[in-house]
Every structure is written in structure tokens, then in C-alpha cells.
């Protein structure tokens, strides 16, 4: 191995995390720690109805009986849940009527994030709900969507304005009893997005949520609920960033998707929470539960590009309840420096003729650890279920780790289940070939990695795909000399 | 254009090049022949800057610059092209995209603007015609699933796209059937100009039926032991290397 290329492949410096700025904005927070009192305070601040508070308290009491999950291939430092601030909001006194009234500093933040919150949105054709710390700041395009009967608003508003839908669907896919972090989220979630597409409606634009943690010492616990009624279609995008801080911050989100009969939902995530510095200081702990329920003939597709967070624990799943329903999971998970990721999916085949497809591409660099964990389960009554799984790992350098934990549980002999896995390294020969054509080593690695991830990136909506490509290259900066 | 003096290089502890001297001027075509293991491919790799090899002695001047001080991509951007004996696959990256990045890197190094998509497509169409490269290949991943012949044609296509000053072709003819050989070789010939030069490394005389060299060098045990004109290749084809290398066998 040549000296320079050895350095290129092994030398590690931190990459510049360009979203690492802090917005200087007045923030209203409550004290650190968690208690029934704190939950009442959150509920009160949000002006919630009594039934919502009851749900929160029930979840909290259940959470107290639960233990932190430690089964993942992760080294999780003990988290002091009493040291987290559970509510932080950019201070705003009055309700806003137009974009002009949004705090300019806040607007600048979203500009820096490259979120076109205003007129540009019309061109981009994306409706955005931006969540800063705990509060949903602005939902664009609501009127256009309302004409089609589409509801797209913050979950707090939905609780007040559409209680019947919330009561029916919230917690129906991920109940608070599901796991430790789902229970915590159900107790303390502060905001998030809600989306409802009525029967037979095809949502005319991509819906998008941007999550941003800004205030120090806070956790973010957003809750997203998407309901696609019979025959409806929606494509939903989610982006996440956070400032660079030395301490670890907690993020525990829940995303629930209800895909009714013959409906189709595409959910895309580009997760770029602050990953910590090159020594492994700071960064977001990302514990997320994402699940969709597919009724008869319904289709749900998860696409995720995970480049951020110090620790990622996340398994977007499909419960294929209805006959002829199908689920897909496309994932690129990249870890560098001291990042740890344990991510994958669960495909639960309950209905007949259900199909699922898993394509997971892990990329490990630096001293990071990257695990794919997947479950494909076929129930007794799920005749003719089919699954195809492909899990690839790409290693950059020789101090990182890639791990695969695929689990198959099959109770029906008619099932056809395929699993393929590969592990590869970027070769010296590939680098030399690219460099001989004039590419720098860094560009070459970026190109090779993007090529490796192409099958997944091509599933992303166009604009997101471009961003994700850049992100993969940026996240590798420093890992290649 | 290229002046190699007393070049020594080793891989690990093994010295492979033991004092190469070679001068290539603009407008010339040089052929380097020699038995297996004589150091032909090593010479090509060292000139391109492959770090697998350590240069221990000697100098290489390229257009007035010290070539050995430049890194791989700098050499490329200054117009040095290597046609690979074993082109590498890059899954998921289309040939068209790969070349677009490469062409624009070269343009950037010359202080030129990147090509517009329309200009680029035009260039690609024009250059793929030179080697009769199936236009479908440019939308496939770099070298992935290409046949041996397609890979070699693809190397010459890239050479045409990048329009190098000095092209070093490492056994571009190996593994080619006679038609592919003709296409590759005429491609190279059509790219020849007064202001560029080509070094062809080959085992067989038959390539030189199409590419007419000004000089033919025989490389043996890390040194150029004989230089002649194109008739030398014919003689080698007929009589082998024995008459030349007998004198050196004792070493």
C-alpha cells in the first residue's frame, strides 16, 4: 500500500460540520429534569386539552417502569434523564400571521440551513413545517393544501383543531408501551408534524419537515403522524440539523404512518444531526422509533440517508397487515470518527401476498461502528409472502467496524425470502484510477461512495438526492487525508 | 516533452527499474517492448505516479517540470494520461458522469470554465465515435460488466476525451481480437498530432501494424537495452528476444 494513499485512507481529521452554528435567539425553557409536574407544564404551555395530558401522564408512568434498551451494538454512556431540558421554544409572544412577522434571526437560521421558507417554496413545490427546538415555527403552503382537504400542520395544532383524528390515530402504530424511548416521547413530545391526506387525494407537492435543535442542554422529542386515507398518495421529507456543542444532546422521536387501503406513502429522511468532533466529544444521541401500518393493497417506502448523530438507534419498519400490501426500506448509513450507528428495519408480514424489499448500504470510516439490524417476520397466515434483502457494507480504513444482524422468522412455508450481503473496501486501484484521470483523492472517495450508495440515493426526490450526495462527500471530509 | 534519466524504482525491497534513459519529443510515437517481467508496466505506473513504487534514483523531466514532484492528479491535469492494462470497475458511477468530472477537473486546472451539459454531450458523442464505442456504454457504470475489448476501447475513449499531451498505453492490445485491435489502434493514430506524444507498451508486433512507431525500445531487466526503428519490432516478432538478451543473461 502506498504511503500517501495509506494516509488518505486512514488519517482522520474531523470534517467541518457546516450546520454547527448557534442561533442567538431568546429561548423560553423550563428547568432540567422530568416529573409529572414537568409534563403538566409542557401540556399547559401548549394549551392542550385534558385528554392529551392524561395520555402523557399514562405514558410517563409506564416509562418509569421500563429499562433502557441495551441490546443494540452500541456503547451508550449512561444518560441522566433528569439532566435534560424537556421543553425549549424560541420566544415569541404573539401568533404570527405572515412570514414578515417571524423573528429575523430565526429566518436567518432557516436561510443558513438552506430552507427556502418563503416564495422560493412555491418554485420548489415543497411545503415545509420547520421545528426549532420544540416548537413548530411555520408551516408554509397550508392554504394550497387545504383546497384539496389536506391537513399539514404542527402536531400541537392538530391536537387542538383535529382532536378526532389525533384520538383515532396517535399511538395506534407505535403505542407508548412499545419501547423505552417511545414511552418517553409519548410523555414529553413537544411538537412535530401532522399530515392527513383524504381519500383518493394525491398530494400535489412534497411535504417536508425540518428539525433543528438549537438551545443548549435540551432534548428534542418530536412526534410525527401521517395518515394517508384510502387511495391517497403523499411523499414526505424530513431533514435534521443541530449546532456543534461539546455536550451530548438527546433526540428521541416517534414517527407513525397509517397507510389505509390502496394508499401509498413515501417517507424520505436526510438525518444530519451534529455527529460530535473527531475525538468523539459531543453530538446527538438519536433514538428514534419509526413505523408504518399498511392496510390492504397499501404501499410504504422508507428511504433514509443517515450521516449525523453520535449514536443512532433507528429501525423504520413496515407492518404489512393488509393482503397485497408492500413495504420498502432503502438506507444509506454513514459513520465517521467515533460515530456509532445501529440501524435497519423490520418487515412484519401478516397479510397474504405481502412483499417487502430491503436495501441497506452501510459506510464506515474512521473509528466508527456501523451495524445493520433487520427483522423479516412472516406470520402463519401470510401466504405467499416475499422478501428480498440486500445488506452491503463499505469500509474506509482499517479501524472501523461493520456488523450485520439479519433475523428471519418464518412461520409460513410458502414464503420466499432472499438475503444477500457483501462487504467491500475502497481499493487503492480505484483511487489510483480516479486520480490518474485528474480527480483529487477526496473527490475520488466521494465519487466511489456515492456510486456505492446510488441505488438508495436514486429513491430520493431529486432535490433531496443532490443534497444527500453532497452530504455524503462532506461527511467523509477528513477521513481521506 | 519527456526526459527520463537513470531512473531506478523498487516495490518493497525489489528493484525493478535499474537505470532507464528515454527521451520522448512532441509528435513522436515510441514503442516499448520486452519479455514478461522486464519492468514495462512498472515504468508506466511510475510515470503516472503510482505510490506503490518508490523512485530511488534518477530524474524525470516533463515539459520542463520535475515530474516526480507532482502527485498523481497533478500529472494527469498537466496532460499525462495512462491507459490501464487492467481498467478498474467503479460500481454505481456512470462512465458519462465519471468523464464529466474528469474533463472539468482538467479544464479547471487550465483555468477554463466547466463544459455546459450540451457541450459535454457533443464532445462525448464525437469522441466515442473515434473508438466506435457503443453509446450505451457511457451510461453504464465505469468498466462494470464491460468485456475485455470494451474496457480497452473505453481507455482510448477516455484518452480522446482528455486530449493528453503525453499518453502512455500499457498493453492496450492485450486480450483484444483483431477487430478490436484495429479499432483501438486506429483510434490512437487519429489522436496523434504534432504537439502530443504517445508511448505504447506492447508485447506484440501486430499492434505496430496500425500504430507506426518512430522508435522501438527493448526493455529487459529494468533497462532499455536496445533501440531501433519500426523494423526492430518485425525482427523481434520473427526471431524473439534471445539474440538481444543473451549478452545480459549473466547479470
B48·A451 Cβ contact <8 A: no
Higher pLDDT, B59 or A251: B59
Residues in chain B within 8 Å Cβ distance of A435: 49, 71-73, 76
Question: Which domains are seen in chain B, by residue range?
Answer: 2-250 (3.40.50.300)
**In this structure, what is the dihedral angle of CA atoms A152, A153, A154, A159, given to the nearest 10 degrees?**
-100
CB count in 10 Å sphere of residue B62: 21
Model pLDDT, residue B35: 86
B76·A448 Cβ contact <8 A: no
| pTM metric for this prediction | 0.81
Residue with grid cell 531487466, as numbered in its chain: B221
Q: Is the pLDDT of residue A28 over 90?
A: no
Model pLDDT, residue A206: 82
Q: Does A384 touch chain B (CB under 8 A)?
A: no
Indicate if ipTM > 0.90: yes
Q: Does A10 touch chain B (CB under 8 A)?
A: no
Domain boundaries, chain A: 149-425
Supply A282's cell numbers: 459531543
Q: What is the pLDDT of residues A118-175, one digit of tens each?
A: 433 433 444 556 665 555 545 556 677 888 999 988 888 899 999 999 999 999 999 9
**Packing angle of the helix pair A36-45, A180-188 (nearest 10 deg):** 50
Selecting from A4, A439, A452 the residue whose C-beta is nearest the C-beta of B91 gives A452
If you measure CA to CA, which chain A residue comes closest to B162? A437
Q: Does A423 touch chain B (CB under 8 A)?
A: no
Q: What is the DSSP letter of B88?
A: P
**Alpha carbon A347 to chain centroid distance?**
17
Q: Which of the residues B10, B42, B51 would you substitute to probe the A interface, choosing the one with the greatest number of A C-beta atoms within 10 Å?
A: B51
Mean pLDDT over residues A92-96, rounded?
45
Q: Does B98 touch chain A (CB under 8 A)?
A: yes
Q: Does A330 touch chain B (CB under 8 A)?
A: no
Q: What is the pLDDT of residues A250-297, one digit of tens each?
A: 888 999 999 999 999 999 988 887 788 887 788 888 899 999 999 999
Q: How far is A439 from chain B (nearest CA, A)?
A: 6
Q: Which of the residues B68, B69, B87, B88 would you substitute to probe the A interface, choosing the one with the greatest number of A C-beta atoms within 10 Å?
A: B88
Supply A164's cell numbers: 378526532
Confidence band of B234 (pLDDT split at 50, 70, 90): confident
Higher pLDDT, A132 or B161: B161
DSSP element (H, E) containing B237: helix B230-239
Residues in chain A within 8 Å Cβ distance of B81: 436
* Rounded CA separation B72/A307 (Å): 30
Residues in chain B within 8 Å Cβ distance of A5: 51
Confidence band of A23 (pLDDT split at 50, 70, 90): low
Amino acid at each position: 500500500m502506498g504511503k500517501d494513499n495509506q494516509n488518505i485512507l486512514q488519517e482522520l481529521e474531523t470534517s467541518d460540520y457546516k450546520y454547527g452554528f448557534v442561533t442567538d435567539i431568546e429561548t423560553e425553557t423550563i428547568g432540567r429534569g422530568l416529573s409529572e409536574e414537568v409534563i403538566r407544564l409542557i401540556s399547559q404551555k401548549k394549551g392542550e386539552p385534558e385528554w392529551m395530558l392524561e395520555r402523557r401522564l399514562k405514558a410517563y408512568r409506564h416509562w418509569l417502569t421500563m429499562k433502557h434498551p441495551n441490546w443494540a451494538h452500541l456503547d451508550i454512556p449512561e444518560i441522566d434523564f433528569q439532566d435534560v431540558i424537556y421543553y425549549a421554544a424560541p420566544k415569541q409572544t404573539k401568533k404570527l400571521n405572515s412570514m414578515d412577522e417571524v423573528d429575523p434571526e430565526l429566518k436567518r437560521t432557516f436561510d443558513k440551513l438552506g430552507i427556502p421558507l418563503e416564495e422560493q417554496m412555491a418554485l420548489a413545490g415543497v411545503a415545509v413545517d420547520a421545528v426549532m427546538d420544540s416548537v413548530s415555527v411555520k408551516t408554509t403552503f397550508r392554504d394550497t393544501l387545504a383546497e384539496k382537504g389536506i391537513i399539514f400542520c404542527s402536531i400541537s395544532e392538530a391536537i387542538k383543531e383535529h382532536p378526532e383524528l389525533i384520538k383515532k390515530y396517535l399511538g395506534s402504530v407505535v403505542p407508548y408501551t412499545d419501547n423505552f424511548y417511545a414511552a418517553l416521547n409519548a410523555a414529553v413530545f413537544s411538537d412535530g408534524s401532522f399530515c392527513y391526506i383524504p381519500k383518493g387525494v394525491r398530494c400535489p407537492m412534497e411535504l417536508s419537515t425540518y428539525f433543528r435543535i438549537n438551545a443548549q442542554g435540551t432534548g428534542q422529542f418530536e412526534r410525527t403522524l401521517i395518515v394517508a386515507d384510502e387511495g391517497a398518495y403523499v411523499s414526505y421529507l424530513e431533514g435534521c440539523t443541530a449546532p456543534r456543542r461539546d455536550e451530548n444532546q438527546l433526540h428521541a422521536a416517534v414517527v407513525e404512518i397509517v397507510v389505509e387501503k390502496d394508499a401509498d406513502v413515501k417517507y424520505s429522511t436526510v438525518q444530519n444531526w451534529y455527529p460530535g468532533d473527531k475525538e468523539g466529544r459531543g453530538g446527538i444521541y438519536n433514538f428514534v422509533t419509526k413505523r408504518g401500518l399498511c392496510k390492504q393493497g397499501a404501499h410504504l417506502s422508507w428511504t433514509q440517508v443517515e450521516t449525523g448523530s453520535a449514536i443512532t438507534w433507528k429501525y423504520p419498519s413496515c407492518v404489512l397487515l393488509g393482503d397485497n400490501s408492500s413495504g420498502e426500506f432503502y438506507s444509506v448509513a454513514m459513520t465517521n470518527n467515533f460515530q456509532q450507528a445501529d440501524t435497519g428495519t423490520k418487515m412484519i408480514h401478516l397479510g397474504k401476498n405481502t412483499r417487502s424489499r430491503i436495501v441497506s448500504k452501510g459506510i464506515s470510516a474512521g473509528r466508527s461502528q456501523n451495524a445493520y439490524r433487520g427483522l423479516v417476520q412472516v406470520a402463519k397466515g401470510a401466504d405467499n409472502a416475499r422478501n428480498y434483502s440486500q445488506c452491503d457494507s463499505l469500509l474506509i480504513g482499517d479501524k472501523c467496524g461493520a456488523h450485520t444482524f439479519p433475523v428471519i422468522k418464518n412461520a409460513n412455508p410458502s414464503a420466499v425470502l432472499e438475503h444477500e450481503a457483501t462487504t467491500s473496501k475502497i481499493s487503492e486501484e480505484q483511487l489510483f484510477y480516479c486520480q490518474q484521470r485528474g480527480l483529487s483523492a477526496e473527490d475520488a472517495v466521494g465519487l466511489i461512495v456515492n456510486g456505492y450508495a446510488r441505488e438508495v440515493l436514486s429513491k430520493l426526490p431529486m432535490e433531496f438526492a443532490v443534497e444527500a450526495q453532497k452530504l455524503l462527500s462532506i461527511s467523509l471530509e477528513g477521513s481521506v487525508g | 516533452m519527456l526526459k527520463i534519466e537513470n531512473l531506478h524504482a523498487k516495490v518493497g525491497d525489489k528493484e525493478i527499474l535499474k537505470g532507464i534513459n528515454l527521451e520522448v519529443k512532441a509528435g513522436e510515437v515510441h514503442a516499448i517492448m520486452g519479455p514478461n517481467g522486464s519492468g514495462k508496466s512498472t515504468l508506466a505506473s511510475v510515470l503516472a505516479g503510482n505510490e506503490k513504487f518508490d523512485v530511488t534514483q534518477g530524474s524525470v523531466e516533463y515539459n520542463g517540470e520535475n515530474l516526480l514532484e507532482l502527485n498523481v492528479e497533478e500529472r494527469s491535469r498537466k496532460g499525462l494520461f495512462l491507459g490501464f492494462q487492467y481498467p478498474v470497475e467503479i460500481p454505481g458511477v456512470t462512465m458519462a458522469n465519471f468523464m464529466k468530472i474528469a474533463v472539468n477537473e482538467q479544464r479547471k486546472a487550465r483555468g477554463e470554465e466547466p463544459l455546459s451539459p450540451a457541450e459535454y454531450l457533443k464532445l462525448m458523442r464525437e469522441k466515442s465515435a473515434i473508438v466506435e464505442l457503443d453509446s450505451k456504454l457511457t451510461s453504464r457504470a465505469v468498466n462494470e460488466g464491460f468485456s475485455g475489448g470494451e474496457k480497452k476501447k473505453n481507455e482510448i475513449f477516455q484518452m480522446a476525451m482528455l486530449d493528453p499531451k503525453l499518453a502512455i498505453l500499457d498493453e492496450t492490445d492485450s486480450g483484444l481480437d483483431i477487430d478490436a485491435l484495429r479499432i483501438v489502434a486506429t483510434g490512437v493514430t487519429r489522436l496523434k498530432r504534432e504537439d502530443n506524444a504517445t508511448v505504447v507498451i506492447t508485447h506484440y508486433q501486430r499492434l505496430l501494424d496500425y500504430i507506426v512507431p518512430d522508435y522501438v525500445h527493448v526493455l529487459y531487466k529494468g533497462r532499455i537495452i536496445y533501440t531501433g526503428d519500426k523494423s526492430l519490432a518485425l525482427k523481434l516478432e520473427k526471431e524473439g528476444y534471445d539474440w538481444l538478451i543473451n549478452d545480459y543473461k549473466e547479470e
